[in-house]
Amino acid sequence: MNTEDTVAVCSRSFSRNEVLRKELLSRYSKVTFNEAGASLVGDGLVKFLSGATKAITALEEMNESVLSQLPNLKVIGKFGVGTDMIDKRAMRRFGKHLGWTGGVNRRSVSEMCVSLMIAMLRHLPIANKELIDGHWKQHVGGLLSGRTVGIVGCGFVGKDLISLLRGWDCKFLANDLIHFEDFYRENNVQPASLKELLSQSDVVSLHLPLNETTKNLIDGRHLNYMKPSAILINTARGGVVDESELKRMLKSKRLMAAAFDVFSTEPPEDTELVRLDNFFATPHLGGSAEEAIIAMGMSAINGLDDCSLPNIE
């Protein structure tokens, strides 16, 4: 057991998980958990991490201001697969290390994507609402089988989603900065420009990080490329879609439906959007399968020792 380092666990879900708590405490004797379940930001985050030599973070924003006030902090173990909340340039500048493994929750997110696709194609959310309200209306939907599915961002989750949908006889279009030639060939995936993908797909699923190049990437112009019969799924990051433009498209029936697990502000502030009959919202559940939580937690724990200066390329 490590008796020298002091570990602070910012993540609320990690702090509540008995399996992860037990594993971390078996390795470190000095651990502080976020027992209060507080949302840690700014000065509150600095105060919580003050004196810790290692930390486990999830969605907490580790920016230059925060990092500059934590001289004792040596390592961050990342709980979760996205690193957009961590200023990696500042970490490198301050000599802090990052323990992170990509894609450990890929199956949890990709399975949820499939469920959202089917739910929206079969009009399940509105049918459920109507039934609860006493209305028996049998909506006629469509099959996922045989559809053209566009994958925007063909990383860990995008690839796993394609592997799941291969048995559904779907046609795949992919858009990514990297051309995964071998994967595309082996899985009969057609690379496409973003405009081509949006205009040809029946279902578009987003799997992008949030950064300067992807913020509001799917704006009004791009949404207008989509078929009126198409469905947009976002289980990646809030902020990659212009939500006001999406609402306009859905209200005018210019886009059939959308299902989002992530929002630019969480919880979402636009109640009009989330209440639309052709919009389905979930509270950032993509990685919340028990198996994925354990895998992400173990990755964060292992990352406290197996770490490096962050790659900023």
Angle (CA) 160-166-155 rounded to 5° is: 25
Chain-wide mean pLDDT for the chain?
95
Known catalytic residue at 237? yes
* Percent of the chain whose predicted confidence (pLDDT) is above 70: 99
Domains of the chain from N-terminus onward = 2-104+289-303 (3.40.50.720), 106-281 (3.40.50.720)
Q: Band the pLDDT of 312: cuts 50, 70, 90.
A: low
Find the mean pLDDT for residues 252-269.
96
Closest CA to 53 of 1, 8, 2: 8
Known catalytic residue at 284? yes
In angstroms, the Cα distances linking 283 to 8, 65, 226, 260, 266 are 25, 28, 25, 9, 8
pTM for this structure? 0.87
Closest CA to 260 of 231, 281, 287: 281
Find the mean pLDDT for residues 219-243.
97
The reported pLDDT for the residue numbered 299 is: 95
Kindly report the number of other CB atoms within 10 A of residue 219's CB atom. Answer: 15
> Which residue in the list 123, 237, 243, 245 is annotated as catalytic?
237
The reported pLDDT for the residue numbered 84 is: 84
DSSP 166: G
The runs of H, that is alpha helices, within 187-265 are 194-200, 220-223, 243-251
The reported pLDDT for the residue numbered 292 is: 93
The reported pLDDT for the residue numbered 105 is: 92
The reported pLDDT for the residue numbered 200 is: 98
> Which residue in the list 64, 266, 290, 291 is annotated as catalytic?
266
Segment 20-66, tens digit of pLDDT? 999 999 999 999 999 999 899 999 999 999 999 999 999 899 999 99
